[in-house]
Structure 1
Amino acid sequence: MPSRRRFLALGATAALAGCATTADDPPKAGADESPDPEEHIDGANGEWSSFGCNASNTRTVADGNAPVDGVTERWRVDAPQLLFHPPVASDGRVFLPVPNRLEAYDARDGSMLWATDEDEAETAPLVRDGTVYVGASNRLRALDAKTGTTKWERTFDADGTVAAPSTYGGDRLYVPVGEMVYRVDSKTGETDWSRRLFGTLLGSSPCGSRGVTLATEAGKIYVLGPDGTGWGEWGLPSQPQAPPTIDTDGIYVNCLDRKTYGIRTETEPRLDIDWSVETGWANGGLAVKANLYAAGTKGLHAIDPATGEQLWTEDTGDWRRTAPALVRDTLFVGGEKLFAFDPTPSSGLLSGDGPARRFEKSFSGPVRFGPVLNDGALYVVAQTGEETYQLVALE
């Protein structure tokens, strides 16, 4: 590992220039201005505030710093082996969803700030404007991010459990409950409208300029406008494995048949699935910025989001719940190790079929969840001993 570490400003990722075997110099330090989530194309607020980082689930951080030459450990805390959701990092805190409970840690030193009681938090959290939104059975709870105290709680009568909510600008939440989706006021929990769809809805639904994109276990994809009217509907040949990722031109989702599917939305909606590519299971979600990235049981894949053409692959292991995380010119991903790649070398195509590697960080076992990026730090849940699993902060 290099002894000197430089830091990269987070922001827009340039289009891929090709594959290379040697990395260009890391980007210069600096930081972009924190975006306005009401105006940002992905609904970003500068934080890793939800399952997919921002409103569109692109797993791309909008501003800040991140290590690109190597990492040192800031702190680590124990985590259970059985986890279903990755951590979320926002406003100086790291939120770890453990089974039936949510724990909040200080991002500086790893000290626990608060934790919910058992059975009071069962979904991935959404953090916006000092409030943590989390589902528990048939309830949606709004918690103070600093203290964990309850601001309000809403009970739903629909059959099914509350899945992780999502938002675009923060003033309204989209809340899946079984086959129902509700749009509610983020300050009060009062309902604006509700719709019944076909199949149990996944949580952490991505939001964009057209509204909210919802996936169901029955293999349906819906796009509903802000007023609840339908904009598009598609049928997938298999059950989605994770919430979709969207950008201005497409919807991307990984499914149980080990394929990733692309739906182009730059024109009027059609019934067609435009492409599919074998990527293996990628339960941790997909990343997109210029190109689409999937990581899971068949390693790391770079895909042209317009055509589904597989641009390159990289062997990172076969752990399905890790997922790529993007900064301006660096792609972080877990698996057998924590990897940092340079996917956009200015030198163009050289020999080799994969990206240049900036660095790697080994643990006793695989990186199981993450990486998550926030305020100059990386967060992963990794196996650190024969039977030990920990949330690790790296800088």
Structure 2
Amino acid sequence: MLKIIRRWIDRYFSDEEAVLLLVLLAVGLVVILTLGAVLAPMIASLIIAFLMQGMVVRLKSLRVPHWLAVLITFMVLMASVAAIMLGLLPVIWQQSTRFFAELPRMLREWQELMLLLPERYPSLISEAQVEQMMSITSSELGYVGQYIVSFSVSNLPVLATVLVYFVLVPILVYFFLKDSQSIMRWFAGFLPEKRPLMSKIWQEMNQQIANYVRGKAIEIVIVGATAYVVFVLFGLNYSALLAIAVGLSVLVPYIGAAVATIPVALVGFFQWGWGPEFVYLLVAYGILQALDGNVLVPLLFSEAVNLHPVAIILAVLVFGGLWGFWGVFFAIPLATLVKAILYAWPIGVKEAHNQELQGQASHDTEQSEA
């Protein structure tokens, strides 16, 4: 047993770089778990800068000076944020207010439909079961209402923090874009000069994560905007809210599309009933999801590493449980990172060990010749 453990340690930790990489991963995990809330502006700024770095690189490839490329990228980012704040948020607020005002009517209609089930299907469901289900739903909705009221009253200081973030995050994004190369050189100064294992993992992951994150952001915008246009053309209520839900649903593969279908179908049903408009809406929504899965995703993620669906769902559950929204967003890149580390670790350690043996052999040869 001790020999097996010793062989495993020699395989994965015989090189000092492997031990250093393990320490860095452990320190990074501990920092995020313990100081994630404090470092939220820094992490958000890094993510946004990472998303916008592609535009800087593209502008520099057109022989635009670095400072001008950073300035143009930053201005595009600020214009996008201003457009969202001035154009989208008022619509969302208006539709959210209208939705909560009409929610009691929807609940009454739902209760009437539920009460008809025991009459039509007495062998499947009883009136007592329906009343129990309605009681549970009413109590849960009451808890939600109490939480919203308590959140709006007791968390007013959060608004001040949000305002600070609106000032702090753009400043951090600008400096991350402007000084990205010097920051990388500064960080590399703490690492060993020869780092084949880290270089192998970095080269394997950098392009793939960049493509995935930028592609996922583009997919959210395209799917959300297309869904909004479709919902507006059908005259569906709460088009902006539902379009945002559909756009964000692409974050969770295989599950998000199914979950986003529920509110779309419910709002369409309460608005039109079992009419032809409801059927046309579901058909159009199905076509949108089919185009997203079979056309848009292959175009945006053609260079992404293929992961098994079980691995993707497991990554969503694990990282989403650890870091919430951002864990879900980065579930696939993080799973790809874990996969790359598991595959590159023994190979990189073996290559480093071989290089050390070759260096020692050449040194011995030089001494013997001398």
Q: TM-score range by the shorter chain?
A: under 0.3
Whichever of the two has the greater Rg, that structure is 2
When the two structures are superposed, what TM-score results if normalisation uses the length of structure 2?
0.25
Task: Name the structure, 1 or 2, with higher relative contact order (CA <8 Å, separation 6+).
Answer: 2
When the two structures are superposed, what TM-score results if normalisation uses the length of structure 1?
0.24
Q: Which has the higher strand share?
A: 1
